Amino acid sequence: MHTNLLDFDMNGLVAYCAGLGEKPFRAKQLLRWIHHNGLSDFDAMSDLARSFREKLKEHAALYTPTILSDKTSRDGTRKWLLDVGAGNAIETVFIPETTRGTLCVSSQAGCAVNCHFCSTGKQGFARNLTTGEIVGQLWMAEWALRMVRAVPDERVISNVVMMGMGEPMLNFDNVVRAMRLMLDDHAYGLSRRRVTLSTSGVVPMMDRLALELPVALAVSLHAPEDALRDKLVPLNKKYPLAELMAACQRYLKYAPRDFITFEYCMLSGVNDSEAHARSLVSLVRDVPCKLNLIPFNPFPGSGLACSSREHIQRFSRILLDAHIVTTVRKTRGDDIDAACGQLAGEVQDRTRLAQRGKVVTIPVRAA
């Protein structure tokens, strides 16, 4: 097997090129050809010396996960199901909006955190994705999307959210290396504000991220008190809410935005009462934040249901009245829903993301 060049950030590529007897500037050229221009054919990399190209052909290649399916919704949402071997599949979802194009990227096949309402968690942990498999989702999606554009030179993906399958903080090194490429001007050149990592609350890793690569942060809350959160997000037993809130405050000193996004999945009769909303207000009152209410996407055997529209409205009203910016995610891509469910079945149903990925955030009206 050749070395996968998608596994390297700039420093890694400099070291790799040095191993082939090449100068550091070669790594920069190579990085641009791969990520800026989307090339995998070394012969087409015209400013690389022929001898270097021959070495690369002998030792290196670009590998991305095989596409199992590729579906586009009427509203433009596009979903790829990708094979990562041993019967495991992950999903990558592109969500177009008027002012931006967001790619939802997976970090692990499965997830060990085992949140009560998450089908990925229910299906257990398979393995961490490699850096190449993580950034490869962006590489593949950006060029697939550009190919069907009238102006193929224009960037399509403006934002990345690490909100696909898996807990990114538990695959820290590979995720950070992949995000470094997302931010590198010689690769994708996205600003730290446009790359968001979502975590279930791995406190020590939040502190590490603050020091190593402070991108925008989303924290999956789902409950305002420890007793309930212990049940919904078992990791809460290890890192309870007081510690999590303190970690959010620390992160804010480094964050590219002056707020943390809190995600809260609306589960009927579980966490959606007015008392829960009031308790949530007290919990987050001192943390500059935005709250994102996510209607629960049901899956077979979950034993849970999504809160009613009325409940969600009432819940958000309490937050808005307390001057907390609150949004509700709106479902998109409905016409490819059924197909997702079917595909999920074919690949051991590891793809709850298929349902979650097709969402956009809309503000809740304050009226």
The residue (of 247 and 294) whose beta carbon lies closer to ligand SAH is 294
CB of 118 to ligand SF4, least distance (A): 3
111 binds ligand SF4 (CB under 6 A): yes
Q: Is 289 a catalytic residue?
A: no
What is the sign, positive or negative, of the torsion defined by CA atoms of 148, 154, 156, 161?
positive
118 binds ligand SAH (CB under 6 A): yes
How far, in Å, CA of 238 to CA of 335, rounded? 40
Q: Is 154 a catalytic residue?
A: no
Residues 6+ apart with CB under 8 A from 325: 259, 289, 290, 291
184 binds ligand SF4 (CB under 6 A): no
Judged by CB under 6 A, the residue of 166, 295, 333, 357 near ligand SF4 is 166
91 binds ligand SAH (CB under 6 A): no
296 binds ligand SAH (CB under 6 A): yes
Judged by CB under 6 A, the residue of 14, 115, 255, 336 near ligand SF4 is 115
State phi, psi for 199 to the nearest 5 degrees: -130, 150
The residue (of 119 and 131) whose beta carbon lies closer to ligand SAH is 119
Tell me how long the chain is.
Answer: 367
Question: Which tokens hold the place of 115?
Answer: 């949140």
Residue type, 355: Q
How far, in Å, CA of 141 to CA of 138, rounded? 5
**Opening angle at CA 223, ends 218 and 224, nearest 5:** 100
According to DSSP, the β-strands at 89-96 and 78-83 are antiparallel
121 binds ligand SF4 (CB under 6 A): yes
Considering only residues 345-364, where is the footprint of ligand SAH by CB under 6 A?
A: 352, 356
Of 279, 290, 291, 200, residue with least CA distance to 247: 200
From 68-76, 91-99, 110-118, 144-152, span contacting ligand SAH (CB under 6 A): 110-118
118 binds ligand SF4 (CB under 6 A): yes
The residue (of 231 and 314) whose beta carbon lies closer to ligand SF4 is 231
Q: Which residues are catalytic?
A: 91, 340
Binding site for ligand SF4 (CB under 6 A): 111, 113-115, 118, 120-121, 166-167, 200, 220
